[in-house]
Amino acid sequence: MSVLGWVAAWIVAVQLAGLGNTVGYHRLLTHRAFVAHPMVRRILTLFGATHSGSPMMWVGLHRLHHARSDTEEDPHTPTRGFWYGHAGWLIGTRHPLPAILFALTGFGQQALILWHDLQRLVGRREADWVALCPDLREERLMRLLDVPLVMPALFAAQAVGAWWVGGAWGLLWLWSVHLFLTNASWSVNSICHWPAFGVQRWETGDRSRDVAWLSVFTNGESYHNGHHRYPRSARHALHGGIDLSWQVIQLLCRLRLARDPWLPRAWRSPRP
């Protein structure tokens, strides 16, 4: 594989898988910010599943984050430390060093998903997140992706494919894709809930921030204070700025592949 091909494939993979998380898992499945054509819904879900774990687990955790933001019950509040909010919460540590090392593993999240699935298989762990997404458990695809070892199988398929296409360089490519995507996603939990960064435009009762520079790496998700103020809004950059996820939702609506994007009243265009 040429260097140019390697980089081009990296950008395409990061964008598609990243949008699967931000447009799919987050704005569509968690917050129902718009209605997507069933096929688009499935495709976005599968793109998200390449790196974000089971959709019901992700949605359940994220709904808990919104319901209990920056309290003891928030799964990843950085009030327990910046690196806890970033990656330490996944492995249950407040110490920066193991949290940073875990964040640098790239495939660490996939190893954790495998570990949790094995625990579920031997009855040591419950899929308690399912109770938080009664809407999703009606869908066959969501239930299938929540079956233990389905997510690890999807990751194994990626690894085999990457090895088959590019050998060691292919695996390095896959590692760097996961490294970027996991840290971009976690940075919303850490940086966008940390007082040193960005601005808080709305008094939301939590520590959420709008961090403009991070929006390039997070498809617009870093306008996070506005998101906590209006969780259902399909647009996160409410005061302007780069919000690729919103651009994609608008494009899907223009192509009639999606409809009814929800916006706060002040941001709705007047009816003609």
Judged by beta carbon, residue 54 or residue 185, the one nearer Zn ion is 185
User: Minimal CB distance to Zn ion: which residue?
Assistant: 208
Collapsing DSSP to helix, strand or coil, 76 comes out as coil
Number of residues that bind Zn ion (CB under 5 A): 1
Judged by beta carbon, residue 109 or residue 190, the one nearer Zn ion is 190
- Which tokens sit at 48? 């998200």
Provide, rounded to whole angstroms, the least separation between the CB of residue 195 and Zn ion. Answer: 13
Binding mask 68-107 for Zn ion (x = CB under 5 A): ----------------------------------------
CA distance 206 to 77: 10
Binding mask 234-263 for Zn ion (x = CB under 5 A): ------------------------------
Site for Zn ion in 190-219 (CB under 5 A): 208
Collapsing DSSP to helix, strand or coil, 223 comes out as strand
CA distance 61 to 52: 12
Provide, rounded to whole angstroms, the least separation between the CB of residue 213 and Zn ion. Answer: 17
Site for Zn ion in 1-30 (CB under 5 A): none
Judged by beta carbon, residue 132 or residue 177, the one nearer Zn ion is 132
CA distance 171 to 163: 6
Judged by beta carbon, residue 208 or residue 219, the one nearer Zn ion is 208
Judged by beta carbon, residue 208 or residue 215, the one nearer Zn ion is 208
In the 8-state DSSP scheme, what is residue 222?
T
Provide, rounded to whole angstroms, the least separation between the CB of residue 192 and Zn ion. Answer: 6
Where on the chain is the footprint of Zn ion (CB under 5 A)? 208
